[in-house]
Amino acid sequence: MHLRKVGAIKGEVEKLLKARFIYLIPLTDWVSNIVPVTKKQGTIRVCVDYHDINHACPKDNYPTPFIDQLIDDYAGSEIFYFMDGFSG
């Protein structure tokens, strides 16, 4: 890679490591590629390509609902229960 891009990538990774947003792992099957993108102003933005992870993860036909919305919807109710359709 170009030396300018290497410096920008290294700086961004060090910033994310320091903030504990990312961390080092020994398992490399789930690593995403870092993609440097040159902006109009000439600065470099570091993006992450999640295509490989998205292909490795199965699609969920029943996404998990947002718990805060559930709590707000049922806040005034006297009874609250879950019905499990898969168990019969």
Within a domain: 24: yes
User: Per the structure, how many domains does the chain have?
Assistant: 1
Within a domain: 22: yes
Q: Residue type at 44?
A: I
CA separation, residue 46 to residues 5, 8, 19, 52, 71 (Å): 9, 8, 16, 17, 37
Within a domain: 74: no
Range of the domain at 24: 3-59
| Residue pLDDT tens, the chain, 88 long | 777 788 888 888 898 889 988 888 777 666 777 888 888 998 888 888 888 777 777 777 777 777 777 777 777 777 766 665 565 4
Q: Does the reported pTM lie above 0.75?
A: no
CB 42, CB 17: distance < 8 Å: no
Residue 29: predicted pLDDT? 66
